[in-house]
Structure 1
Amino acid sequence: MFFFVLFAVVMGAAHYYIWKRAVRDTTLPGRGRRIGTVVVLLLYVLVMAGLSVSRLGWALGDAVAWPGFIWLAGAFYFSLILGVLEIPRLLMLRSTRRLEVAVAAGVPNAVAETPETPEQPEAPEQPADPGRRLFIARSLAVVGGVATAGVVTYGATQALGDPVLKRVPVTLGKLDPRLSGYRIAVVSDIHLGPLLGRAHTERVVRMINEQQVDLVAIVGDLVDGTVDELGEAAAPLRDLVSTHGSFFVTGNHEYYSGAEPWLTELDRLGVSPLRNERLTIERAGASFDLAGVSDVTGAAFDDGPDYARALDGRDTSKPVVLMAHQPVQVREAAKHGVDLQLSGHTHGGQMFPFHLAVGLQQPMRSGLETIDGTQVYTTNGVGFWGPPVRVGAPPDITVLELHHNFAGR
């Protein structure tokens, strides 16, 4: 409820600003302004309805989700671009006022003074000419609207198109040379829901199977809805093919959607949940440990991460790969000697400039980094949350290829 109220206030402020710059400033009092006001109000209601999709019922929610979330991105970028355009707006209004002052002071052709021109008496500053003000406001509103449409359209093609396939080599000092070349498909944040359904899952499964990997790691945020609503959309996961199977750890959204039924459903589909546990992966007489911990959000649902249970008592001469939804979990993982952590959650920022905000909560945004001595790979994920828009953070499926470091750790 707190999030909903906060979101309503922020969106209300954004829509008021859009109304002020794109409706009030661009129209004269009358019918046109009234129509524009009604349109902005309806768009605000549409955004709030899109956020309330689960409360509206699945059929009605699906009908409002697409336009609601598309406009959510539009409202964000339109208000952001209009904010940036405040600078040229103020400069143009100031130039207009100076021109009027010069004309009122009798400067021929409103040219600026030169050393040969005697100083003119200063005339009182007057408001910009209404016609000029209207022209400036309309021009900037059109520029902002066109730019917003371009950004949102580009972002939608990124979010809804095929994920980028990344191949990332990772060197582990403890890895037995016989395991060198072992391939793990890392996928996260699939976010099945009102906007992404069975076809999305089928595409993800097809792309992973084409890589002929040894293991599939799904690191959370599979769904935004219940098993009853989305069980059919998740069903293609049963078709995942790999040498050593498919594994799953919870993300924060699983707990909002009913984690227990989903863990049961995934197990039925052949995707093995790792709930604060580990197992041994063997090939050609060599092995490494694969572990998984619950998401930190699970602590509020009596299912929080238990690193000691998952990691203590193992053979520390072998490397351990940990599946954990959020990169921030590496702080605890490093204390238990984890060699490589696989994470998602950040969406790579999803929509610029949210990239800049990720660092307020997480130690990294995406890619491969070493934190507190533990390597962490964070995928951008293959889905999206909220707007079906990605700007500067395309969706991806990553194939990590493990290699032995012959020079030692």
Structure 2
Amino acid sequence: MVVVFVLVALAVLAALVALHWYAWRRLVRDTTRGPGLARRTGTAVLVAGPVLMVAALVAERAGAPFWLQRVLGWPGFLWMALTLYLLLALVAGELVRPLVRRLVERGARAEERAPLPATVPVGPAPADPEPAPSQVQSAPSRRLFVSRVVGGAVAAAAVGTVGYGTYGVLRGPAVKRVTVPLAKLPRAAHGFRIAVVSDIHLGPVLGRGFAQKVVDTINSTQPDLIAVVGDLVDGSVKDLGPAAAPLSRLKARHGSYFVTGNHEYFSGADQWVEEVRRLGLHPLENARTELPAFDLAGVNDLAGESEGEGPDFTKALGDRDTSRTVVLLAHQPLQIHEAVRHHVDLQLSGHTHGGQLWPGNFVAAAANPTVAGLDRYGDTQLYVSRGAGAWGPPTRVGAPSDITVIELASRQA
């Protein structure tokens, strides 16, 4: 097992080095005339970026001092996103490079064919007149011009994409509203609103200020109930307790409920369950509570199986009154298959981030039955939130963050 891990790590490292060498060649070597300040600066950036990225990942996974995680987190994780979009933009650049080259060469040939302005000679004509500047443009200078045009466009596209995607996360999640009709829901519960938030991912990058934005957004919707469906944190209670403190100000008529996500099991799930309980949320650890109009159940995340705390649908749902509507909180959409077998009416999940960074949505679709939005599996409906925060890079592209207000609708209304 160790040998396999080492081989995979070496393969990933080799791919990372190859990618950055290619980026250096196209963006630095091909766009500069030789050793100088510009080349040295570009080289330093393309060496420091991946080093900081690897250091940020290792620091988070190894539980390095939190101050060090914070120092490395911003530049390291942003470089992770930038690497993806540099690669995509470089591939696109290779496709358009021949076209740009042909346009430049065509322009150069047109200048060469242009007649020189007539002049009246004074004195004896020189035996070997100097050509016009436009006639001495060499092939190497044209290649440099093409490389600078394409390289500049590649860098601008990658930086602009990551910048806009990061701004989208930092300004806070938008509110999305979805109506879900449920066959067994009584008329009295028609219009009941559940604010669903997942994947906040408080950590070295997203901290207390971000948590306060999430809380303010949720409270502004005036929900009847709040469901926090996992991946609240990336770190220990010791490091992130102050960042999570604004959750104590969540307000809903029927309270706030919490289930674990896979990242809680990387961060000390038992301690976080106790911490959210202290903050006023109600953890549902393979448990169910009876609300006036329907049952609300929650199961642990699949990652808890390694600690003997995995999901137990029988414990959460086995002895319930099946004539009542039941809404299930389960972090991963994969848990829908067990929910169907237990005749759940509606499952609320997160986990996928909607792919977070395009084209990550295609990867997420291969690993999850539903990536985002409302779907149906037999008699069970599944709603998957794209999440409020972000893991790794505080960046989203093609998958904007959201807090969803689910409005339950009774067919008897």
Instruction: Report the TM-score, using the length of structure 2 for normalisation.
Output: 0.86
Note the alpha carbon deviations across 1:182-206, whole angstroms, 9 max, x for none. 1111000010101111111222222
Residues 219 and 248, structure 1, Cα contact 8 Å, conserved in 2: yes
Instruction: Give the match for residue 211 of structure 2.
Output: 201
Instruction: Give the match for residue 17 of structure 2.
Output: 12
Query: How many angstroms apart in 2 are the aligned matches of 1:29 and 1:378?
Result: 52
Residues 381 and 395, structure 1, Cα contact 8 Å, conserved in 2: yes
Note the alpha carbon deviations across 1:200-237, whole angstroms, 9 max, x for none. 12222222222221111000000000000001111121
Letter in 2 for 1:350: Q
Query: How many angstroms apart in 1 are the aligned matches of 2:202 and 2:196?
Result: 17
Query: How many angstroms apart in 1 are the aligned matches of 2:197 and 2:12?
Result: 29
Instruction: Give the match for residue 59 of structure 1.
Output: 67
Question: Does 2:75 match 1:75?
Answer: no
Residues 263 and 273, structure 1, Cα contact 8 Å, conserved in 2: yes
Residues 322 and 341, structure 1, Cα contact 8 Å, conserved in 2: yes
Residues 284 and 298, structure 2, Cα contact 8 Å, conserved in 1: yes
- Displacement of 1:40 after TM fit? 1.2
- Displacement of 1:99 after TM fit? 11
> Aligned-residue CA RMSD in angstroms?
2.4
Residues 206 and 394, structure 2, Cα contact 8 Å, conserved in 1: no
Alignment of 1:311-326 (within 5 A): 311-326=317-332
* SS in structure 1 of the partner of residue 366 of structure 2: coil
Query: How many angstroms apart in 1 are the aligned matches of 2:9 and 2:186?
Result: 51
Letter in 2 for 1:254: E
Residues 289 and 318, structure 1, Cα contact 8 Å, conserved in 2: yes
Residues 344 and 380, structure 2, Cα contact 8 Å, conserved in 1: yes
Q: Which runs of 5+ in 1 are unaligned?
A: 111-127
User: Which is worse superposed, 308-317 or 182-191?
Assistant: 308-317
Query: How many angstroms apart in 1 are the aligned matches of 2:15 and 2:188?
Result: 55
Letter in 2 for 1:70: L
- Displacement of 1:304 after TM fit? 1.0
* SS in structure 1 of the partner of residue 347 of structure 2: strand
* SS in structure 2 of the partner of residue 146 of structure 1: helix
* SS in structure 2 of the partner of residue 144 of structure 1: helix
Alignment of 1:8-407 (within 5 A): 8-31=13-36, 32-54=38-60, 55=62, 56-93=64-101, 129-282=139-292, 287-406=293-412
- Displacement of 1:15 after TM fit? 1.4
Letter in 1 for 2:392: G
Query: How many angstroms apart in 2 are the aligned matches of 1:291 and 1:129?
Result: 70
Q: 1:288 to 1:329 in 2, by over 3 A?
A: same
Residues 328 and 347, structure 2, Cα contact 8 Å, conserved in 1: yes
Query: How many angstroms apart in 2 are the aligned matches of 1:251 and 1:90?
Result: 48
Query: How many angstroms apart in 2 are the aligned matches of 1:154 and 1:133?
Result: 31
* SS in structure 1 of the partner of residue 231 of structure 2: coil
Query: How many angstroms apart in 1 are the aligned matches of 2:45 and 2:189?
Result: 61
* SS in structure 1 of the partner of residue 263 of structure 2: helix
Instruction: Report the TM-score, using the length of structure 1 for normalisation.
Output: 0.87
Query: How many angstroms apart in 2 are the aligned matches of 1:248 and 1:139?
Result: 51
Query: How many angstroms apart in 2 are the aligned matches of 1:310 and 1:10?
Result: 45
Instruction: Give the match for residue 114 of structure 1.
Output: none
* SS in structure 2 of the partner of residue 278 of structure 1: strand
Query: How many angstroms apart in 1 are the aligned matches of 2:14 and 2:307?
Result: 29
Residues 295 and 305, structure 1, Cα contact 8 Å, conserved in 2: yes
- Displacement of 1:92 after TM fit? 4.4
* SS in structure 1 of the partner of residue 376 of structure 2: strand
Query: How many angstroms apart in 2 are the aligned matches of 1:23 and 1:406?
Result: 67
Identity of aligned residues (%): 48
Letter in 2 for 1:316: T
- Displacement of 1:28 after TM fit? 3.7
Note the alpha carbon deviations across 1:280-319, whole angstroms, 9 max, x for none. 111xxxx211111111111112111111211112111111
Q: 1:373 to 1:4 in 2, by over 3 A?
A: farther
Residues 196 and 348, structure 2, Cα contact 8 Å, conserved in 1: yes
Residues 182 and 411, structure 2, Cα contact 8 Å, conserved in 1: yes
Letter in 2 for 1:12: V
Residues 172 and 210, structure 2, Cα contact 8 Å, conserved in 1: no
Letter in 2 for 1:58: F
- Displacement of 1:10 after TM fit? 4.1
Residues 104 and 146, structure 2, Cα contact 8 Å, conserved in 1: no
Query: How many angstroms apart in 2 are the aligned matches of 1:281 and 1:65?
Result: 42
How many residues are matched? 381
Q: 1:295 to 1:7 in 2, by over 3 A?
A: farther
Letter in 2 for 1:52: V
Instruction: Give the match for residue 117 of structure 1.
Output: none
